[in-house]
Structure 1
Amino acid sequence: MITYIRIGLVVVCLVIVTLVLLPFQLVGLAFDWKIRRYVPRLWHRSACCLLGIRIRVHGHPERRRPLMLASNHVSWKDILVLGAVADVVYIAKAEVANWPVFGILAKLQKTIFVVREEKRRTGEQVNEIAARMTAGEIVVLFPEGTTSDGNRLLEVKSSLFGAAAAAVPHTPDGVVHVQPVSIAYTRVHGMAMGRFHRPLAAWPGDIELLPHLIGVLKEGALDVEVAFGDTVDFRTGDNRKHLSQNITAQLRRMLIRHLRQREYDAG
């Protein structure tokens, strides 16, 4: 009973925070004011606090612009975590726009929705990505293309870096800065996360959202390590496969480092 009372309080508090911040975000979106970039960060920080997601950051986002962050993808919680750390905007597949709750939140954050199957729209989508980065926004890409189990890095699709490559000619200095960011969920209630609690961290596509969300609300107190790697400068003529290999190597190294620390603590 106490658990469900706590869940109810979390939901109520999150609704209140949303209602307080929503008018500011709607005005920012209507007039395209910079406030629309900052309000989501306040919401994400509040959501992480209420859900019990504790973030430890290693390194910092690259200060140069335009900037694209390339991150491994474990769960919908990654959106909250990265959004709490920096003022970011996400690249997401078009289907996300129609998801209940998450689709609305994505639109409020002015997520860039892409239709990968429609090549005729590629130029339009790339132009938007380039324009947003050129305007100083930090664009987040999940180059695995899907979520993992949180314990390994899936194959990174070099084709997804095409957005960075195609955006280069549209940037003032002919360069896009690409920085890897690893997300590792390591603890639950302060104890190293083992196999039993892995479903709390990861959200593979075959698990229904509502039961997973309730499970997260029941447990709470998740610790996550966010590590920023070395920035790769991508210019005209550079090979995106080389970019992909560099980013992949860094992501795998950072992810393994923090997951091994979890296993060491568990042992």
Structure 2
Amino acid sequence: MANFISKQYGRAKTIFGMGQSIVGGFRAAYKIGAFTQPQREILPKYIQTFCRKMANSFGVNVVQVEPVPQKHGLWVSNHISWLDIPVVGSVAPVFFLSKAEIANWFIFGRLARAGGTLFIKRGSGDANSVSDQITEFLQSGSSVVFFPEATTTDGKAIKKIHGKLLQSSLDTGLPVCPLVIAYVDRDGKLSDDAAYYGKRTMADSLLRVMDNGKITAYVLPLDPIYPNGMTRKDLTETLQKNMELGLQRLHDIVLKR
């Protein structure tokens, strides 16, 4: 009975924290006029504050193993969970990609628009079209992040990287800025509760994170990769290798053996 009450209290606390974060996000957006005309040059600091509060509401503490450089470029990260969005958003000066239809969602759609999200118009899975939209976004002075594994994992390794969207780095000359994430539980092991993969539903994943209440998201920035003289194949292979080595290094630093 005591365990049941404790679990329900923890869930209620998380939902309350999420609500406070959302209300705070709307207040900040109104304050800076983001609902009428987002000021992209000042938005990243507000996005980082909002994302940090959202992560904290789920009991996820975000730790930069090394300071994340606030650099303009095409950012990429390994992909473990829906938690990756508030985690990456809390440390990197980035805007997110989203399906165009999300722009019309009542609450999160409005916040996403105010937060300068790049809404991607997909046509028959045309990655080249998406890459062109990212290129225009980068050329306007805004950094963007995507997850090149194209699917979530259990966080133990980097899956095959899909390099089509890296074309925007080649087109702009801007660097690919990789970082890697590891979710660690209170015992110093990789947190399976944080991972959203396999046949887990979103509801199941949310409850796992809520009930855990003690997850640390460690973030390690890797060296930027400049595309000068590279082909897309070269850039993809270099990124694959660097992220694999980077994730292994991160695990060596933060996990208890």
In structure 2, relative to structure 1, the CA distance for the partners of 1:132 and 1:205 (3 Å cut) is farther
Q: TM-score, normalised by structure 2?
A: 0.83
Deviations 1:217-257 (A, max 9, x none): 1111111221111111124x630111111111111011112
How far the C-alpha of 1:149 sits from its partner, in A, is 1.3
| Structure 1: runs of 5+ lacking an equivalent | 169-174
Correspondent of 1:165 among 165, 170, 183: 170
Structure 1 vs Structure 2 CA RMSD: 2.8
- TM normalised by structure 1 equals 0.81
Greater percentage in helix: 1
Is residue 150–residue 201 contact of structure 1 (8 Å, CA) maintained in 2? Answer: no
2:185 maps to which of 188, 212, 230: 188
1:251 to 230, 243, 257: 243
Question: Could you list the runs of 5+ residues in structure 2 that have no partner in the other structure?
Answer: none
Q: What is the match of residue 59 of structure 2?
A: 52
Whether contact under 8 Å (1:25, 1:36) holds in the other structure is: no
Deviation at 1:94, TM superposition (A): 5.3
- Give the aligned partner of residue 71 of structure 1: 77
Q: Distance in 1 between matches of 2:133 and 2:36?
A: 17
Name the counterpart of 1:22. Answer: 26
Over 3 Å counting, the alpha-carbon distance change for 1:96 and 1:207 in structure 2 is farther
C-alpha spacing 1:92/1:33, structure 2 compared with 1 (3 Å):
closer
Which letter maps to 2:202?
Answer: L
How many angstroms does 1:152 deviate by?
A: 0.9
* Aligned: 1:151 with 2:156: yes
Could you tell which deviates more after superposition, 24-33 or 106-115?
Answer: 106-115
Letter in 2 for 1:233: Y
Q: State the secondary structure of the residue aligned to 1:184.
A: strand
1:129 paired residue number = 134
Higher strand share: 1
User: In structure 2, what is the Cα distance between the partners aligned to 1:101 and 1:205?
Assistant: 28
Relative to 1, partners in 2 of residues 1:64 and 1:76: Cα closer, same or farther, differing over 3 Å? closer
**Compared with structure 1, are the counterparts of its residues 104 and 76 closer, same or farther at alpha carbon in structure 2 (3 Å cutoff)?**
farther
Between the two proteins, what is the percent identity of the paired residues? 23
Number of residues paired by the alignment?
249
In structure 2, distance between residues paired with 1:126 and 1:159: 7
Deviates most, 91-100 or 152-161? 91-100
1:1-267 alignment, distance < 5 Å:
1-25=5-29, 27-34=33-40, 35-65=42-72, 67-92=73-98, 106-114=112-120, 115=122, 117-119=124-126, 122-123=128-129, 125-166=130-171, 168=172, 175-185=173-183, 187-189=184-186, 191-193=187-189, 197-198=191-192, 200-204=193-197, 206-235=199-228, 238-261=230-253, 265=256, 267=257
Asked whether the 8 Å contact 2:44–2:94 carries over to 1, the reply is yes
Q: 1:10, CA displacement in angstroms?
A: 2.3
Measure how far apart 1:14 and its partner are: 2.1
Code of the aligned partner of 1:51: F
Counterpart amino acid of 1:56?
V
